[in-house]
Amino acid sequence: MSEPLKVAIAGLGTVGVGTIQVLTSHADQVAARCGRPIQITAVSARNRQKEREADISSYAWFNDPVAMAKEADADVIVELIGGSTGTALDLTREALAAGRHVVTANKALIAEAGAGLAVAAEASGKALAYEAAVAGGIPIIKALREGLAGNSVSRVLGILNGTCNYILSTMDETGRDFDDVP
């Protein structure tokens, strides 16, 4: 197998910790499917002392996620901070400028700054992967780009967000009003 793909993760909430858990507990399966191992090398979050359901002690810690995007020993930066401005945007821009691929599940970031980030990614020759931010993680982008590449798709209609699907399904099933659904 080839050299590992080195990954740094910014944001250690539910999704960040879940990412660590999947990449570590299923490392052999992931490596077999990807053709190379994936190695987490660095992490960043607001609170280093917070108790998490993943052991982060073996990874380089960065207090500043933007610095991590520039300095970490990583091929890929995973942005899981959230928000469309500030740290999430700065980290993504810096990672692309530093010649690193970026993976994000940040809907707000893609909605507000996605076009500009796509231009930056193209200019750097690196990937901006945001499928996790679309349609509740359903691989619709890959299907459109690859599976339907020979078709002429002019638009996609529907609710492509897991939260919206949950709210609307709950409203339909229970007869509750929008404001009453958590």
Beta-carbon contacts of residue 177 (< 8 Å; ≥ 6 apart): 171
The two three-digit tokens of residue 138, written as one number = 């359903």
Using an 8 Å Cβ cutoff, are 113 and 83 in contact?
no
Which range in 28-32, 72-76, 155-159 is most confidently predicted, on average pLDDT? 72-76
Lowest mean pLDDT among 3-12, 123-132, 146-155: 146-155
Tell me the C-alpha distance between 44 and 48, whole Å.
8
Query: Residue 82: pLDDT band by 50, 70, 90 thresholds?
Result: confident
| Domains present along the chain, CATH in parentheses | 5-133 (3.40.50.720), 141-182 (no CATH)
Which range in 25-34, 93-102, 124-133, 154-163 is most confidently predicted, on average pLDDT? 93-102
The two three-digit tokens of residue 86, written as one number = 């500030």
Tell me the C-alpha distance between 124 and 135, whole Å.
27
The two three-digit tokens of residue 137, written as one number = 């993680």
Per-residue pLDDT at 102: 96
Rg (CA), the chain: 18
74 pLDDT more than 70: yes
Question: Can you tell me the mean pLDDT for 13-39?
Answer: 92
Instruction: Give the length of the chain.
Output: 182
Q: What is the pLDDT of residues 28-47, one digit of tens each?
A: 998 998 899 999 999 999 99
